[in-house]
Chain A
């Protein structure tokens, strides 16, 4: 098992497609990265664009892996576009080395198999791209006003990012006035490009994005406070446009939670297949940009529209169309991470980038050394970490105001759990060993602070 404290951790990433290069870019700063791909042009591009070593060859062959240095590797991430290839890469790695193996798969059946026996396929950690993206969408649907939601400490703590809507009752209030919930901590306010750590006297403005950490009920309560016309948990009408794998998983997960989502898919065969696989959804076969159809089916009355078509442009188009028809909130899947901000600026409420979600999950694992759980906020502007406090932690056995004084600004202790108990952090709260602490960290201090926790 590798140790993130040690410098020069060697990671082999097989498959330099969108996800592979994105992970390589995320990790290149802190790890030694070797990228393996069959495509010579891609390999060459990466050599120049990132500070990584590249090997051209078939990742399933032992000779290629040896050329990439499998013997010294601490981790192998199989992120090609083909599930079976990724599984073979991990099995091959397991046969010749002790490296930690991570596989990216699309087919959830492999995930099920792996969950049944964690030694299956020689994979140590499996990341199901489509399922992860779908799960993050479903969490947002659960708390309508939120842009992003993540759970910590087995669901006892929730982190949520909200945008203050126009005309919200909390507009121009200070944080102290807006915080009516005992078990809720304001972590930060994001305004355009700046990140402000929330203080009692910070003022909330329209379109500010607020990161809060707290008890799930308090988070829901806060959602109601800032957007009273969108009571949480009543997003009953969900329309999913596009029967992609992600669209399918969103429909399935919502169906499991008692919703009856409507799913619109243009392709006859695919629509039929989806209808067979989704007993709890209503599948409709039509072009989602057909405005007559959308009006006839009263899509405008929906609480949520999830755009899950296979192109970013189409997702933008249907999101804007849905907005026009009167849909409360829209979520769009955006494959190109550079479009996320743009799309959110022109009218998509929440943009979900599957690559970002996968990168987040993989990062979670590369930080296995200390952090239990990581959420990345707004394309790596900040992180929320869950840490199990041990005897060496800077936090242990002292009141929070003392330890925070020793840490740089940009750190907020959001919540503490002790056993099953939720503790709201105050200045005089003393953190004990084995407590789980959920901490908000500005991206600029992550590398400095997280080893100390």
Chain B
């Protein structure tokens, strides 16, 4: 079989990206030095990534890529970066035999499948964890920062970042960004794609810095005792990418109400199309509130939040008793009931926080929502399937797809009554191409099929190893990894972890996160024989 894809060119570009991965790795290295921790995990990883990257680059010294090579390059980049990104976790657990002692020999990440899971969960901004003990005592400040930083790198997209800084990607750049960016198609903001990529990353960086400053400002103002510099930076790095990792075991529950309120608008911004911010900053501020996707996105969150808040306020949305073997106990539940039922501000705050966190696929939690009732939990599960906006850092199916699907359903109803009517589907006054609508349906159906099939497979594997799973647990675990959300319900709840799954299940979920981040098709297309042949 003659291979018609210039895979060497794709891998050569992957090599370039890997080489540059050494730069962000230097940050946790510095932090490790500052805290007097071992620098071996980062030093070795930097050497490995430069060596592997340099080696791959030699496969094709002057790569020239087309559309097909683009898919392969994007898919391979995310896999390669996650593999390299797992190295610091492994080195921390094992040390370098005979040279450097292990600094965290008890770490659950000593199992390669766990390390890869954590790394992929980081880069894909999922936020699902397999850490046994989430604390700065169990792991170094450097390692925990790397975990946060991997989410920040993955948020706006590694390939987008590469397009922004690597001149050799300027020609095929739009193609690459299209394959990586969430939502159907990218909007080119400037004539040069590298400038567009820089503009997006600039807005992203700006929001991140603003959040860090505000969080630390609250700390200085005495309103957030736990939010020290390290925590402010760590949470700044995982809010804007809709990541959800936190160095605190109790996630955002560990912080004050003021911190929770501050984080909400940043999560909303993270799930918004960044092109709208660019328009707002370049003199067209009316584009943001006038955008139909943005309105639908905010409206959906407002409706879900209001319902959840109502359920919590009246008590229907809070669990009545604490069953055995769960992530909370009776005294925690008593506290939750006392806080939420009949109290407007906490009910509203926790409802908005959880809804926004799951709709935008961030995955932070301000409370253990395992202690909520089925009615509120069901709404949150529903929210996971909404997803962020196109061109945001969020995962899931994406608001714009639902919007177009709803509009095309309305059209179907109309044309059923009037078969001769010609009705284009409009989005913000412009008609949506029928091929794009077909693409949206294909993606959504594929996403849902994958969701149901994957849930079945997870059940199958859980039965094999004797892990008891409820339907909600299995479904939420798949929805949370495929949608890059992070926490699910029950076992995989916001204060729980994915540790109990078998290695096979975890590797399967690694694949789900990878597929979900790249929106399935760019990865799937590389697996078809037609792609490799004519």
Contact = CB atoms under 8 A, between A and B. Distances in A.
Interface of A: 264-265, 271-272, 274-276, 279, 282-286, 293, 297
B420 interface: yes
Interface stretch (B156-164, B241-249, B308-316, B423-431): B423-431
A286 B420 contact: yes
A29 to B, nearest CB: 48
B418 interface: yes
B418 A275 contact: no
Contacts of B421: 282-285
Contact of A285 (B422, B429, B431): B422
B434 to A, nearest CB: 9
Contact of A297 (B418, B426, B431): B418
Contact of B422 (A271, A279, A293): A271
A276 B420 contact: no
A407 B418 CA distance: 60
Contacts, number: 31
B423 A283 contact: yes
B420 A272 contact: no
Interface in B117-154: none
B342 to A, nearest CB: 48
A282 B415 CA distance: 11
Given A276-B431, A279-B429, A284 B420 contact: yes
B410 to A, nearest CB: 13
B420 A285 contact: yes
A276 B418 contact: no
A269 to B, nearest CB: 10
A285 B421 CA distance: 6
Nearest to A270: B422
Interface in B414-454: 418, 420-424, 426, 429, 431
A275 B422 CA distance: 6
Interface in B330-374: none
Contacts of A265: 422
Interface residues of B, number: 9
A297 B420 contact: yes
A264 B429 CA distance: 22
A271 B423 CA distance: 9
Contact of A284 (B422, B424, B429, B431): B422
Listed residue (B421, B422, B426, B429) with the most chain A CB atoms within 10 angstroms of its CB: B422
Given A274-B422, A297-B420, 15 more contacts: A264-B420, A265-B422, A272-B422, A275-B422, A275-B431, A279-B429, A282-B418, A282-B421, A282-B423, A283-B422, A284-B421, A284-B422, A285-B420, A293-B420, A297-B418
Contacts of A285: 420-422
Secondary structure call for the B interface: loop
A297 B420 CA distance: 9
Contacts of A284: 418, 420-422
28 contacts: A264-B420, A265-B422, A271-B422, A272-B422, A272-B424, A274-B422, A275-B422, A275-B424, A275-B431, A276-B424, A276-B431, A279-B426, A279-B429, A282-B418, A282-B421, A282-B423, A283-B421, A283-B422, A283-B423, A284-B418, A284-B420, A284-B422, A285-B420, A285-B421, A285-B422, A286-B420, A297-B418, A297-B420
Nearest to B423: A275
A265 B422 CA distance: 10
A340 to B, nearest CB: 31
A284 B423 CA distance: 8
A128 to B, nearest CB: 24
Contacts of B422: 265, 271-272, 274-275, 283-285
Contacts of B429: 279
Contacts of A283: 421-423
A271 B426 CA distance: 16
Contacts of B420: 264, 284-286, 293, 297
Contacts of A279: 426, 429
A264 to B, nearest CB: 8
Nearest to A275: B422
A131 B423 CA distance: 24
Interface in B469-528: none
Nearest to B426: A279
A181 B390 CA distance: 61
B418 to A, nearest CB: 7
Interface string B6-24: 0000000000000000000
10 tightest Cβ-Cβ pairs between the two chains A and B:
A284-B420, A275-B422, A286-B420, A276-B431, A283-B422, A271-B422, A276-B424, A285-B422, A284-B421, A275-B424
Listed residue (A279, A284, A285, A293) with the most chain B CB atoms within 10 angstroms of its CB: A284
A190 to B, nearest CB: 40
B427 to A, nearest CB: 12
A271 B415 CA distance: 14
Contacts of B426: 279
A265 B421 CA distance: 10
Contacts of A286: 420
Contacts of B418: 282, 284, 297
Nearest to A293: B420
Nearest to A277: B431
A283 B418 CA distance: 10
A297 B421 CA distance: 10
Contacts of A274: 422
A275 B423 CA distance: 6
A240 to B, nearest CB: 14
A282 B414 CA distance: 10
B436 to A, nearest CB: 13
Contacts of A264: 420
B452 to A, nearest CB: 35
B326 to A, nearest CB: 53
Nearest to B430: A276
Contacts of B431: 275-276
A222 B194 CA distance: 67
Nearest to B434: A272
Contacts of A272: 422, 424
B290 to A, nearest CB: 16
A264 B422 CA distance: 10
Interface in B391-429: 418, 420-424, 426, 429
